[in-house]
Chains A and B, each alone.
Chain A
Amino acid sequence: MHVVYPAVVSALLFSIGVYGVLARRNTILVLMSVELMLNAVNLNLVVFDVWLRDRLHSGQVLTLFVIVIAAAEVGLGLAIVLGLYRNRATVDLDRLRALAESPDPPAETPTGSPSGGPRKGAAGQTARAAVVTAPTHPPGRDDPPEVTP
């Protein structure tokens, strides 16, 4: 078996996974694309283990470890996605912008700012403070999913 064949298949799978992570909007589809990338890595590990005839079988054992870690990752990721769906009623990545910095600095002081008011030239700092304080006050189930002004 030429090593090039599995390596090329693995490279193509990885690129497809990259496309899926970047282009998909549903969070679970992004998780599936991450699985594709992990599988590309697994194929690489197996083929190089076979090529190098590793006596410790590092490649195949690491493949098993990656599979286990991927299972744990999917479990945790789905738990997070379900929590997200409970709180925001959406799993679209485009609409989850609570942690994003707004492109233009906000005109008024955010209400949750710990200090009295923004100092001079501290617009970026207040934006960051808003980002930090955002996850501690998650909107309830009835709040609108869009929180960006």
Chain B
Amino acid sequence: MADVPSYLSPTGQEIVFLLLGVVAVGAALLVVTTRQLVHAALWLVVCLGALAGGYLVLTAEFVAWVQVLIYVGAVVVLLLFGLMLTRAPIGRAADLDSRNRPVAAVVATATAVVLVTVVVDGFRTAYAPLEPGGGSAREIGSSVFRTWVLPFEVLSVLLLAALVGAIVLSRTDIRGRR
């Protein structure tokens, strides 16, 4: 690939994506290091929202809106409900990190170093020109309901099973057979 543009003159899309990436990574760092439980969920909203913006920059519009709807809308609310129902302490809690925190930091740093090295080495010359329309609802919808219709239906059954399982698990008046 000889027609790869230089890294020294980033386009506007790349600058926007990098800013969103910095926001996402910073918010993710705060999610795993903050001392307040509820703030972790709220920083998770920031991280997922920045990722949704990144999907928009990458022309994956439909995925971006699904991300906003399901992740920011549903999953984080569910996590907040979980925090509330387990009576999480509001305010600073001292014991949110377990004892193996240094080991975790070492493992995570090693993972980051290995992954970033491999990725930079492998995809240094890869360039993806962005053309709008590739990830619109029309394209994704026709792809889902033509090629991927069987996995889609199987996934709907899986989701139903998971929700029934969640109801059975969380109700206390359903007893197992003794």
Taking Cβ atoms with an 8 Å cutoff, the residues of A that contact B are 1-9, 11-20, 22-26, 28-29, 31-33, 35-36, 39, 42-43, 46-47, 49-51, 53, 56-57, 60-61, 63-65, 67-76, 78-83, 85-86, 91-94
Contacts and interface: CB of A to CB of B under 8 A. Distances in A.
Nearest to A39: B51
B170 A83 contact: yes
Interface in B120-174: 120, 123-124, 126-130, 134-135, 139-140, 143-144, 147-148, 151-152, 155, 158-159, 162-163, 165-167, 169-170, 172
Contacts of B37: 26, 28-29
Contacts of B46: none
Interface string B50-78: 01001101111011001100110011001
Nearest to A7: B119
Contacts of B166: 75-76, 78-79
A29 B134 CA distance: 35
Interface residues of B, number: 92
A contact face: mostly helix, strand, loop, or mixed: helix
Given A6-B54, A25-B95, A64 B66 contact: yes
Given A2-B127, A49-B60, A28 B88 contact: yes
Nearest to B43: A32
B104 A22 contact: yes
**Which of A8, A81, A83, A94 lies at the interface centre, i.e. has the most chain B CB atoms within 10 A of its CB?**
A8
Contacts of A23: 32, 97-98, 100-101, 104-105
